[in-house]
Amino acid sequence: MINDNHSKQQGVYAVEFAIAGSLFFLLLFAVLEIGRLFFTWNVLTEVTRRGARLAAVCYFDTTNIVAFDDMISISLFNDQPIIPNLSAANLQIQYLMDNGTQVLSSVDANFIHFVKVDIINYQHQLLIPGLFLTLDSPTFSTTLPSESLGVTPNTTTLCTPT
């Protein structure tokens, strides 16, 4: 009789481990993914900060009122893929007047008082097994007062990757 009960319960431990192990590993991957999500948010914040700082001190295309590609590349960590799917298309740099209006023509280029950098249309893919979600990130934004805009007496400073 003892052997008969023992043989009926042989697979119970395997089933218990499968249930408990699945929950444990799902929770483990979820915690790791939340950490990766916080890292991604920090990188996006840093990209806007770097971009705004460079836009405030680097020369820009005064004809079209846009940042040069080199400056955008430096803002994106010299185009190193630190996080997936982040590209120059996600970086929006605006030159603003004192009242917050965007400068769109070279006529108003002398009235630039602020630079604003936004991360737009970035999507983060969660990698939790069994849970396939794509999160649309909020718009990350940094606004700084314009400084030299790359122009000092008798020179123009272009920002180039180092």
Domain residue ranges of the chain, discontinuous segments joined by +:
2-156
Beta strands in the chain, from DSSP E residues, in sequence order: 91-96, 114-119, 123-125, 134-136, 140-145, 151-152, 155-156
User: What confidence score (pLDDT) does residue 160 get?
Assistant: 62
DSSP state of 88: G
Q: What is the pTM of this model?
A: 0.81
> CA 40 to CA 47: how far, in whole Å?
11
> CA 79 to CA 109: how far, in whole Å?
28
pLDDT 10s digit of each residue in the chain, 162 long?
A: 455 566 667 778 888 889 999 899 988 988 999 999 999 999 999 999 999 999 999 988 888 889 998 899 999 999 888 999 999 999 999 999 999 999 988 888 889 999 999 999 999 998 877 778 899 999 999 999 998 888 877 766 667 654
